[in-house]
Amino acid sequence: MLMTKERRPAIRTLRGWAISVLHEAGAIHECEEHGWMRDRADPHARQRAFDAARQSPPAGISADDAVEEVRDVLDSIGDTCPECPAE
């Protein structure tokens, strides 16, 4: 008999969802060497991320709460990698 497991959602937290939205919009990227998230400081990418959060929030989350989480995550990410030497 074939047994199947119920699949977990790919993104388990609201913060993880917000990071995914920001990454897909191009507002953040990873440091190639260390993997830290970095803000790209691209206002158009930020707006795309806010629009995506507003239009397609996760199930059970209001559009306003989704946009607020994207804003909170974006505010917590710097534009430099803490492990890379200062330029």
Range of the domain at 42: 21-75
Radius of gyration in angstroms for the set of CA atoms belonging to the chain, rounded to a whole number: 16
26 inside domain? yes
Give CA 27 to chain center in angstroms.
Answer: 9
3 inside domain? no
Q: Kindly tell me if the per-residue pLDDT of 15 is higher than 70.
A: yes
Residues 58-80, mean pLDDT to the nearest whole number: 93
pLDDT, greater one: 12 or 36:
36
Q: Kindly tell me if the per-residue pLDDT of 76 is higher than 70.
A: yes
16 inside domain? no
Q: Output phi, psi for 29, to 5 deg.
A: -150, 170
Residue 40, exposed/middle/buried by CB under 10 A (0-12, 13-18, 19+)? middle
Give the model's pLDDT for residue 4.
66
Split into its structural domains, the chain has a count of 1
Residues 39-59, mean pLDDT to the nearest whole number: 94
Give the model's pLDDT for residue 81.
85
5 inside domain? no
Mean per-residue pLDDT of the chain: 88
61 inside domain? yes
Q: Output phi, psi for 28, to 5 deg.
A: -135, 160
Q: Kindly tell me if the per-residue pLDDT of 56 is higher than 60.
A: yes
**Site of tokens 């803000």:** 39
